[in-house]
Structure 1
Amino acid sequence: MKSEYDFSKAEKGKFYHPDAKFHYPIYLEPDVEDFLTKIAQQKNIDVQVLVNEWLRSNIKLIQSIE
């Protein structure tokens, strides 16, 4: 890595996109990942779909008791 960088010819905001959506990676513990992968394979769906379904169900459950 250089000790200094020259940004005198840089273009401000060149890579800025106000409508950009960011996806945050979620890392599962190996035992949880194995469990979810098996269920997703049985249902023939992607693990991400399964996790989102389960999270939505939990959100509804929590909202119903608030």
Structure 2
Amino acid sequence: MRPEYDFSKAVRGAIASRFREGTNIVVVDPAVRDVFPDADAVNEALRALAPVLRRQRKSPPKRRSA
């Protein structure tokens, strides 16, 4: 790396909108970081949980008899 860089012609946020469209950033709570240390761990857990959540959404609400 150079000791100094010339940012005099830089434009702040020039590609921020393109980056935002293709990215979904989630902040993991410090209390669970030891369980989910990286994106792979989070994705693995969410993939395992997704089928359960999908089943819950598809099943109609149960009616209670009077």
Judge same fold: TM > 0.5, yes or no. Answer: no
Sort the TM-score into its range (normalised by shorter chain): 0.3 to 0.5
Which structure's residues are more often helix, by fraction?
Answer: 1
Bigger relative contact order, structure 1 or 2 (CA pairs below 8 A, ≥6 apart): 1
* Larger of the two Rg values belongs to structure: 2
TM-score (norm. length: structure 2): 0.44
TM-score (norm. length: structure 1): 0.44
